[in-house]
């Protein structure tokens, strides 16, 4: 059974990181039908495979950085003001970690356990 911290990590990885990467991959592949996305997809269609891979890596790195910064801000906020709390199974997830912003990393971190995509280093 997953503990509350891992349950939160799985939710965040699946619904923020992996969905964001899938969306970017779909833009790069030109599969979206929405009229508002056609200009973006047309622009991306002119990129080489190498360039598309670089764009994908940049997007993964951006999402990972944004998630890290969000979790770090949550940690700092909890230590000083504690006005914003995220609870899972009635547990404050920040209290369950000695540094929630680092939970995604390592061989047994959230990315390794729950993500379908590579980690950009």
Q: What is the enclosing helix (H) or strand (E) of 86?
A: none
Residues with Cβ within 8 Å of 15's Cβ and at least 6 positions away in sequence, in order, are none
Note down pLDDT in tens along the chain; length 121 residues.
579 999 999 999 999 999 999 999 999 999 999 999 999 999 999 999 999 999 999 999 999 999 999 999 999 999 899 899 999 999 999 999 999 999 999 999 999 999 999 888 7
pTM over 0.75: yes
106: left (phi over 0), alpha (psi -120 to 50) or beta: left
């Amino acid at each position: 059974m997953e503990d509350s911290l891992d349950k939160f990590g799985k939710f965040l990885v699946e619904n923020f990181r992996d969905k964001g990467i899938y969306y970017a991959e779909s833009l790069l592949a030109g599969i979206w039908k929405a009229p508002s996305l056609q200009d973006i997809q047309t622009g991306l269609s002119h990129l080489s495979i190498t360039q598309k891979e670089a764009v994908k890596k940049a997007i993964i790195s951006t999402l990972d950085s944004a998630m890290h910064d969000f979790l770090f801000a949550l940690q700092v906020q909890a230590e000083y003001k504690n006005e914003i709390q995220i609870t899972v199974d009635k547990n404050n997830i920040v209290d369950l970690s000695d540094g929630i912003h680092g939970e995604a990393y390592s061989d047994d971190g959230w990315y390794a356990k729950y993500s379908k995509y590579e980690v950009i280093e």
